Structure 1
Amino acid sequence: MVEKFLKYCKIELNLSKNTLIAYKKDLENFMEYLPSDIEIVNVKNTDIENYFLTIKQNSKCRASSICRKISTLSHFFKFLISENIINTSPIINIQKPKKESHIPHFLTDEEVAKMIEVAKEDEKNGKKHAAIIALLFASGMRVSELCVLKISQLEIDKSQIRVIGKGNKERIVPVSNNAISILNEYLEDLQSSIFLFPSVRSNHISRIHVGNILKNIAKMANIDAKKVHPHALRHSIALKLVNSGMDLRLVQEFLGHKDISTTAIYTHVNSKEIVDLVKKYHPMSKDNAEGNDGNLVKNL
């Protein structure tokens, strides 16, 4: 039944591969929790409540993951209803936890430039790694979108890329001249391939491989590797665009966000700006206070 549900999600709902993997894992975890004498068609609301109570008590599962698990089960039981396997869904009055609010990691322009510079020092894979960093930052694309990017999606003469995002939705993403230049250097040495970043083991490079590449380069560039991951580059260009005054809905379109509330997280003032504003306007700052009391701010 799970496989039939996943097939429905893939064909009818056009869900991404990563979402399908998450759905499958969520359903497997739930079925492992159920006692052997309870079949999925006989699940009751109390079973659902106890399952999520157990998760909250015995695991470090994030609120966002719990919300996804609730959505997975909700979609699954709705599917069973549509197939006339059950009459009502056992998921009722299950409250989703409030998702954690956090400001994402981001890199400065100087750090990105340093990583590209360090990447190029590798004679064997330097051009490839530099192209990966440049494209992730310049286009703001998701790492999953980068991994499956085909050469046929490149429109170098127009300095843009046709990116296939979640739900197979296509969007046109402009790319800077500097990124195009770095990409062209890589393409000169690329052997015949369908994918822009092919892999020996599979058709294209994996997300894990990209993550490892970035962390290794960050270490060599003396940048905190903990904050360096593929999505950090996406965060970085998004924050830069928002802080430059670009309309939020245009940034939403650029990033391929379905909900503008996801884009709105980049409207948070970053910590450096807070420090600069405090130093400029705080009555005890050097520029605004009489005498030497302004030095107190530097020591706080």
Structure 2
Amino acid sequence: MKNNPFWKKLRDYFSIYLPKQRSSSEKTIDTSHMAWNLLLRYLLQERGMTAGALEFESFTSELLTAFLDRMETVRHWKTSTRNNRLSCIRAFFKYASCTCPEAYVVHEDLRTIPLKKGIDSSRVVSHMAKDVIASIIGCIDILSPKGLRDCFYLTLMYDSAARNGEMLGLKLSDISTDNACICLFGKGSKPRLVPLTRETMAMFAKYKTSFHKGSDRSSPLFYTMHKGQKTPMSDDNVARFLKKYAIQTCSQNPHVPENVHPHMIRHSRAMHLYQGGMPLAVLSEFLGHEDPETTLIYAYADTEMKRQAVEKASESLPLTDIEMEFPAWEDADIIGRLVRGY
């Protein structure tokens, strides 16, 4: 396979192009790795192809469509996942087509595969009210070490509106006690500074005393012990303890959603800041949105602010002074005759 142009390009794509020339984030590279691992496994195990025989011409739009359909059936991919994996695979052929004419032909063929349309949920924001957030965090027993860790994690996540991936990637040095702020690394490893409240900083002091005595500043802020070493906490762990506390809170607060997930904390904080009067432009910077248009979802989704605006605009309208004339079909006898047909 050393002299196979396809394998050589694929190796260069992951070892040179993405990490060094494009400076892609680890998450972007991992997502692309996953897409290609699944595709190659499908070709070798289910289609009976051999690795040495794979070349650019092996990849056709019909073959790739069959792969995507198969993954939807077996792995229950959502429409967004299917489209994302398709984009990852096409991105490689776009890169390879610059120097390999045979890859250009394949790239043009794969471009004919349409992105699949799904339910448009772009303007739906799953969030929780302030009292629900307070109930979930308030039910945690901070007298236990794990309880203190979990409480500080959710408090910091809400205060900073951080993504779960940003939280898990934090180091001890990323929180500044001098400026009371946190440095978050968003998509594409782009940093942003977010101010923290006094309450969060006070909890950080307690957490640091319990979990980071003598720790190096480069230590992961949230960790689990593995073979005597501090390793960053996993997203599965976060989802697990958040779900546990949400279930505990259900008996006291009936408004706790059924499926509480970490990103809902970020959405909730963003919605509360918007409802509190933070301009969308500032909110966009606070959340680390590369495209300010993304932040508009909170304006679209906030029905309560729309209701208040409508009620305020309707205050001067003399609607209560209008004598309402009810239509004839309010008469039960007329409705009955209509149903009977005479």
With the shorter chain as reference, the TM-score category is 0.7 to 0.9
Contact 1:281-1:288 at 8 Å conserved across structures: no
1:245-285 Cα offsets, whole Å, 9 max, x none, are 32222212111122223222111234556777899999xxx
Contact 2:152-2:204 at 8 Å conserved across structures: yes
Report the equivalent of 2:113: 94
**Residue type of the alignment partner of 1:215:** K
Gaps of 5+ in 1: 292-300
SS at match of 2:245: helix
Report the equivalent of 2:333: none
Contact 2:90-2:111 at 8 Å conserved across structures: no
In 1, the alpha carbon distance for the partners of 2:55 and 2:292 equals 36
Question: 2:235 matched to 1:207?
Answer: yes
Report the equivalent of 1:219: 247
Superposition TM-score, scaled by structure 2 size: 0.73
Report the equivalent of 1:15: 24
In 1, the alpha carbon distance for the partners of 2:115 and 2:220 equals 39
In 1, the alpha carbon distance for the partners of 2:118 and 2:321 equals 41
Greater gyration radius: 2
Which has the higher mean CA deviation after the structures are superposed, 204-213 or 85-94?
85-94
In 2, the alpha carbon distance for the partners of 1:289 and 1:104 equals 38
In 2, the alpha carbon distance for the partners of 1:109 and 1:195 equals 29
* Structure 1 residues 101 and 241: CA distance shift in structure 2, 3 A: farther
Contact 1:249-1:260 at 8 Å conserved across structures: yes
Which has the higher mean CA deviation after the structures are superposed, 147-156 or 82-91?
82-91
Report the equivalent of 2:85: 69
SS at match of 1:226: coil
Residue 232 of structure 1: how far off its partner (Å): 0.7
* Structure 1 residues 87 and 219: CA distance shift in structure 2, 3 A: closer
Contact 1:149-1:196 at 8 Å conserved across structures: yes
Residue 76 of structure 1: how far off its partner (Å): 1.2
Residue 160 of structure 1: how far off its partner (Å): 0.8
**Residue type of the alignment partner of 1:159:** A
Contact 1:64-1:100 at 8 Å conserved across structures: no
Residue 231 of structure 1: how far off its partner (Å): 0.6
1:175-219 Cα offsets, whole Å, 9 max, x none, are 122222222221222233322112202522111111112111122
Residue 236 of structure 1: how far off its partner (Å): 0.6
In 1, the alpha carbon distance for the partners of 2:321 and 2:198 equals 46
**Residue type of the alignment partner of 1:158:** N
* Structure 1 residues 91 and 221: CA distance shift in structure 2, 3 A: same
In 2, the alpha carbon distance for the partners of 1:18 and 1:179 equals 28
Report the equivalent of 2:97: 81
In 2, the alpha carbon distance for the partners of 1:236 and 1:84 equals 48
* Structure 1 residues 48 and 184: CA distance shift in structure 2, 3 A: same
Contact 2:220-2:231 at 8 Å conserved across structures: yes
Gaps of 5+ in 2: 1-6, 324-342
* Structure 1 residues 219 and 95: CA distance shift in structure 2, 3 A: same
Aligned residues: 288
Superposition TM-score, scaled by structure 1 size: 0.82
In 2, the alpha carbon distance for the partners of 1:249 and 1:99 equals 29
In 1, the alpha carbon distance for the partners of 2:313 and 2:76 equals 41
Question: 2:249 matched to 1:230?
Answer: no
**Residue type of the alignment partner of 1:65:** T
Contact 2:25-2:188 at 8 Å conserved across structures: yes
In 1, the alpha carbon distance for the partners of 2:224 and 2:102 equals 45
**Residue type of the alignment partner of 1:196:** L
Contact 1:199-1:205 at 8 Å conserved across structures: yes
In 1, the alpha carbon distance for the partners of 2:116 and 2:165 equals 27
Question: 2:33 matched to 1:5?
Answer: no
**Residue type of the alignment partner of 2:234:** S
Question: 2:192 matched to 1:171?
Answer: yes
Residue 119 of structure 1: how far off its partner (Å): 1.5
* Structure 1 residues 213 and 46: CA distance shift in structure 2, 3 A: same
Pairing partner for 1:263 from 276, 295, 309 = 295
Contact 1:41-1:85 at 8 Å conserved across structures: no
Q: Percent identity?
A: 22
Contact 1:116-1:133 at 8 Å conserved across structures: yes
**Residue type of the alignment partner of 2:247:** K
SS at match of 1:212: helix
Contact 2:56-2:103 at 8 Å conserved across structures: no
Residue 241 of structure 1: how far off its partner (Å): 1.9
Which has the higher mean CA deviation after the structures are superposed, 206-215 or 89-98?
89-98
Contact 1:9-1:15 at 8 Å conserved across structures: yes
Which has the higher mean CA deviation after the structures are superposed, 55-64 or 87-96?
55-64
Question: 2:60 matched to 1:44?
Answer: yes
SS at match of 2:258: helix
Report the equivalent of 1:296: none
Contact 1:63-1:97 at 8 Å conserved across structures: yes
* Structure 1 residues 280 and 208: CA distance shift in structure 2, 3 A: same
